Amino acid sequence: MWRREAPHVLAALLRRHGSFDDCEDALQLALLAAAEQWPRDGVPHNPAGWLVRVASRRVVDQVRADTARRGREERAARLDRVDEGVAPSPRAGTEDHDAGRGDDTLDLLVLCTHSSLSPSSQVALMLRAVGGLTTREIADAFFVPEATTTRRITRAKATLREAGARFAHPDARTLAGRLPAVRQAVSLIYTTGHAARSRPGSSDGTLTTTAVHLARELCRRCPGDPENAGLLALLLLTQARRAARFTASGDLVPLDRQDRRLWGRDLIVEGVQVLERALPVGYVGSFQLQASIAAVHADAADARDTDWAQILVLYDMLERVDPTPAVSLGRAVATAEVHGPLAGLAVLEGMPPGSHRLLAARGHMLAGAGLAVEARADLLRAASLTRSIPEQRYLNRLAADL
């Protein structure tokens, strides 16, 4: 599918012309022209080269128009020369394009996580620039109108320009500093797709597939950082459970009740391989530890065979590198599995109450300890606080069954 070429074309344009919003607009126009001309005249030999040439022409025209307005002629002349010099023929276009292919997706990812952008803008830009999704597809994924998405992307591009963000090969130190934000954004894309999956009208796993694709790219372009492999392994292992997460009627099936025969074996094997290659590299960060926990779950043919002792060790390590409430909660659950519900409740005691996840976990532990009345109160309260319909149904059902 030639739309996969879009990020490389965009990167080629950015290297030449610099301005993200001009280049992105020009690329969209070139893609429109392609959608019109190619079915009629046939696909050119080098689709990417064609797109670079047509879009480049648009950027130059645009700059020329702006320049005429502002009365600054030299800039257009200079750009025009650059354009003529770099892409005089389709052949040269190919070479230029291929030469830059090495790291351009990564450079784009890094640009999309510029610190001036909010997380949701980063995600929207990444889906557009690197995932090759159309505004319509992004809008569908987030269940908002297309006009809303258009405004968000326009605003994100304007923010990038105001912040003076430049498309460039970041040096090693800058890159190392930005990779965590890139991984977070990729992970957020996955979570969004994961959560949307059961919603009425949600069609396919566009977002989850795109996130896995991005994680793969990240590993390929930057194999030296084991956290990239950790992220990819985590997404693959989570993706493997996809078919078992919901019943046909859309009810949530918790991990311990999933039909493990529905888990994707190929994805599990690949996820574990990716993880096992990464772990000995050195620094073991949050994504590798989360993936390790997912791998232990994947290893158990039945929920009762789960090696909770190992999971507890992993949660202890995870809490040291990534001390978030969600991780502490996971550690409390693992503690309850290893040392009994009272030990789990003791861990929860030290945590600030209030979140529906904590109340749900405490409800489970209280039920395990035989305190049905207290358990029911926690489960019903958790059900009233969650914003997920399948989770609410599940918690209400649990409370009713006590």
Stretch that binds another protein, among 117-125, 220-228, 259-267, 309-317 (CB under 8 A): 117-125
Residues in contact with 334: Cβ distance below 8 Å, sequence separation at least 6, in sequence order: 308, 311, 312, 315
For the record, the structure tokens of 393 come out as 């149904």
Cα 228 from Cα 212, distance rounded (Å): 11
CA-angle at 222, arms to 219 and 228, nearest 5°:
45
Cα 90 from Cα 249, distance rounded (Å): 53
Please write down the HEC assignment for all residues of 84-108. HHHCCCHHHHHHHHHHHHHCHHHHH
Stretch that binds another protein, among 39-47, 60-68, 285-293, 391-399 (CB under 8 A): 391-399
The contact pattern for another protein, residues 343-372, with x = CB under 8 A and - = no contact, is --------------x---------------
| CA atoms in the 13 A half-sphere facing the CB of 5 | 20
Binding residue for another protein (CB under 8 A) from 32, 43, 144, 309? 144
- Pick from 372, 378, 330: which is nearest to 356 by CA? 378
Binding residue for another protein (CB under 8 A) from 245, 362, 364, 381? 245
Shortest CB 194 distance to another protein, Å: 6
Site for another protein in 152-211 (CB under 8 A): 152-153, 155, 191, 194-200, 202
Stretch that binds another protein, among 54-62, 89-97, 113-121, 369-377 (CB under 8 A): 113-121
- Pick from 57, 65, 100, 103: which is nearest to 82 by CA? 57
CB-nearer residue toward another protein: 3 or 357: 357
CB-nearer residue toward another protein: 106 or 327: 327
Stretch that binds another protein, among 126-134, 172-180, 208-216, 389-397 (CB under 8 A): 389-397
- The neighbour count for residue 6, using CB atoms within 10 Å, is 23
Binding residue for another protein (CB under 8 A) from 37, 184, 388, 396? 388
Cβ(26)–Cβ(55) below 8 Å:
yes
Q: Which amino acid does the sequence have at 212? A: V
CB-nearer residue toward another protein: 175 or 294: 294
Cα 402 from Cα 393, distance rounded (Å): 15
- 3 state SS of 370: coil
Number of residues lying near another protein (CB under 8 A): 40
CB-nearer residue toward another protein: 223 or 353: 353
Q: Which residues bind another protein (CB under 8 A)?
A: 118-120, 142-145, 148-153, 155, 191, 194-200, 202, 241, 245, 250, 252-255, 258, 357, 386-392, 394
